[in-house]
Each structure stands twice: as structure tokens, then as C-alpha cells.
Amino acid sequence: MKFNTLKWTENGLEIIDQRLLPIHEKYIILSTTDEVCQAIKTLAVRGAPAIGVAASYGVVVAAKESTSIDFVRSSMKKLRLTRPTAVNLFTALDKMESQLETAFDSGDPINFLLCIAQEIHHEDYRICKNLSIHGAELLSDGDTVLTHCNAGALATSGYGTALGVVYAAVESGKKISVFADETRPLLQGARLTAWELAKNDIYVTVICDNMAATVLREGKIDHVIVGADRIASNGDAANKIGTYPLSICAKEHNVPFYVAAPLTSFDFSIATGAKIPIEQRSEMEIHTIFGMQVAPANVSFYNPAFDVTPFSNITAIISEKGIARQPFNSILKQWSIK
């Protein structure tokens, strides 16, 4: 990749500020827990796997701020409150918390916790690369993929999930092009997916969200591939708002609909997607776009950040373990066994 999503430095966690893309490619250092929390809340760093990695480094930042284990525990509680839907956040923090007392008993809690955070970081890259290689088997030379939101290097440790499948296919010698939904209201598809694909020399066409059904009907799309922030044990998948209607359109037009996500995005403790908490975001994201008011101030706004695609609309789920096809029950049960 021709950019770094996030990396650890001696001054703290360095991230590319995704709020400023595609106009400005700016990197910022997060040196306090509050800065890490704010970066996650405001989507300076975003994408389920990347949020998990950022949160793990946030624990290291907390240890650098104070030698008190109680302070670090309090900071971890703040990190847990940043965003409710992406399960990777909680998985990463659970791993960090399980080693917290050992870290402080070691006499060098900062480096001890840093080693764990770096392990989470490197493991995420490895598993995203592996799932992408599995997913690339589904694509043929000359195929066109439609995706929604951003599930690429910007959303992970640096390779991607849905876009990772595209990258892996291209690396294997296949020519792949992409249609990217703009993804309202924050335009992650137009701002981020199009930016990173173009930066990596992959042909991309941006469309408005309400054009997806038309390009599917016109036969322009061979596969739809999206990421996921949380997947229930039955295969129901929560992803950026607008994914569910896209799955309906794909099913109507007999286009395969794939969900690509690492096992860290699976929540095997819940039976169905009905149990997935859906983040509600500020009305200002709809009311105002890039500082310009686009709707009357005296009307109501409803802004769920995610929706849930039922397993029945999903052709296959791609993880580092391989490809799960319908029916999902038996293979997802196998995947749940650690």
C-alpha cells in the first residue's frame, strides 16, 4: 500500500486522518487516551479492524500517561464507549485487559502492553491478507466488483477485507475494476474507497447509492463484496447503512453478494443480527455536509450508522478460515471453535 493507516511511534499512535481525505493526506499523532477516543468517535480512524487495533494502542497510550493501573482501567472504559457496533473494538480491549495485571507486575507495563498491541496489529494484517487470498478465488480476470463504504486498507491494519479481495486478485494477475457506492451521509465510498483504489492504480467508478440497482440491472456488476462490523452466529451481518438494500438488489438481479470479514468481526455470543447494537450518530451528519446546510433545521433526522443484512441475502462469507457458503450453520459453528 502507498500509505499507512496507523502505526506506533515513540511519540504515540500515528494515524492518517481519514476525515480530511481525499483532499489532504495528513498524519496525526495521538498521545493521550482522550485523543485516541476522539479519533475513533469522529472517524479520524475507522473500520472495524482498524478500530480494534487503534484501541489496543490506546491502552499503551494510557500506560504512557500514567503508571497507575487504575488509570489504565479507567481509560479502557472510555475506549469501550467510543463506538458500539464494531465487535473488534471489544475483542481487542478484552485481550489487552486480560494481560493488564501481568503487564504491571512485569515492571515494564508500557513495553509489555506495546508487544500485545503490536501482536494484535500484525495479526490483523496477516488474517486480512489470508481472507483476501481466499476471496480472490471467487473473482475471474476482467470482473467488476461493486462495494459499499470502505473495507480496504484504510479500514484495517493496511490490507483490507472487501477491497483486500480485489487487491489479492490483482496481485495474482487478474484485471479487476470496481464500482464504489458513494455511501451517504459521510461518503466513505467516494472519499476513501475511490481514493485508495486510485492510489493503488485500480480502476474505480463512483456512483450515487441510489444508482446501484440500475448498474446491477444493466449487467455491469459481476460480484458485490462488502465488509462487516459484526457478524452473528447465524451469518446475519451488520455493515455500513445502505448495505442491506444493496443485498436485496443483488439478490433480485442474481448477482453474488459476499461479506468479507476476519473472525475478530464475528460475535458468536449472539444468535441473530437482531442482537447487534446499532450506533446512532449525530443529526448534523445529515443536516450539514462539508460545512454547508442541506436540509431545514426545524425537521427531524434519523441517522443509524449501520444496518443488518440477513444471512439469507448473503451468497458467501469470506474469512481467514476460507469461504462459507449457504447453509452457514455448520461451517460457522466450526469457525466459532477456537
Average pLDDT, stretch 97-106?
96
**pLDDT above 90: residue 297:** no
* 227-286 confidence digits (pLDDT tens): 999 999 999 999 999 999 999 999 999 999 999 999 999 999 999 999 999 999 999 999
**pLDDT above 90: residue 201:** yes
Q: ω before 109 within 30° of 0 (cis)? A: no
**pLDDT above 90: residue 302:** yes
The residues near 227 (Cβ < 8 Å, ≥ 6 apart) are 47, 48, 149, 151, 155, 161, 162, 239, 259, 260, 261, 265
Helix, strand, coil shares of the chain, percent, nearest 5, are 45, 20, 40
218: left (phi over 0), alpha (psi -120 to 50) or beta: alpha
**pLDDT above 80: residue 190:** yes
Residue 203 C-alpha cell reads as: 480502476
The residues near 139 (Cβ < 8 Å, ≥ 6 apart) are 145, 165, 166, 169, 174, 176, 222, 223
Residue 239 phi/psi, 5° resolution? -145, 180
CA 231 to mean position of chain CA atoms? 12
**pLDDT above 90: residue 63:** yes
C-beta separation of 196 from 3 below 8 A: yes
pLDDT for the residue 337: 85
Average pLDDT, stretch 199-207?
97
Average pLDDT, stretch 144-165?
97
Domains of the chain in sequence order: 6-127 (1.20.120.420), 139-335 (3.40.50.10470)
How large a percentage of the chain has pLDDT more than 70?
100
pLDDT for the residue 290: 86
Cα radius of gyration (the chain): 19
**pLDDT above 80: residue 177:** yes
Residues belonging to the active site: 229
Place of cell 473495507: 151
Answer with the residue of higher pLDDT: 297 or 261.
261
**pLDDT above 90: residue 92:** yes
**pLDDT above 90: residue 110:** yes
Average pLDDT, stretch 93-116?
96
Residue 28 phi/psi, 5° resolution? -125, 150
pLDDT for the residue 338: 67
C-beta separation of 305 from 280 below 8 A: yes
**Do the strands 316-319 and 322-325 form a parallel or antiparallel pair, or are they unpaired?**
antiparallel
Average pLDDT, stretch 11-34?
97
To the nearest whole number, what is the mean pLDDT of the chain?
96
Place of cell 478465488: 137
Average pLDDT, stretch 47-75?
97
pLDDT for the residue 1: 79
